[in-house]
Amino acid sequence: MAGATVSRTAHFALHRRELDAPQAPTTGPESTGPKALFAVREPWVGALIPKRWAKRAVTRNTIKRQIYNVSQSLQSELPAAAHVVRLRAGFDRARFISATSDALKQAVRAELQELFARAAP
């Protein structure tokens, strides 16, 4: 979360932080100094779905699956950085009555595609 917010939509925020410079791998007790957090220079995606905004576990899991599916399909377009998608507002339970429904999945997917499109470098 220390990275900058690169895009926002009505329900989501995308945070990005550049990866630490990779260091030469060293082994043994003589190796000192900090090691890179991410050894491979590729896009990393995480999801932060608070219970405050998605009360039911099935809803949180549905949203996480959509985040990972959308980010996987757009992985070639993402820069090599650590990305965190954060749910910052809840979906209307009056509109999406079921905890997991096709309508909810489509709404989440469309908004995530917009979120990643706005963050394109």
Distance CA 40, CA 22 (A): 8
Report the predicted TM-score, pTM, of the whole model to 2 decimal places: 0.81
Q: What total of structural domains would you count in the chain?
A: 1
Residue 36 lies in a domain: no
**Residue 40 has which token pair?**
């491979």
- Would you say residue 26 has pLDDT above 60? no
Residue 37 lies in a domain: no
Residue 27 lies in a domain: no
Domain residues for the domain of 112 are 4-18+43-118
Distance CA 96, CA 105 (A): 10
Give 48-82 pLDDT, tens digit per residue: 999 999 999 999 999 999 999 999 999 889 988 89
CATH number (domain holding residue 80): 3.30.230.10
Give the whole-number percent of the chain exceeding pLDDT 70.
Answer: 83
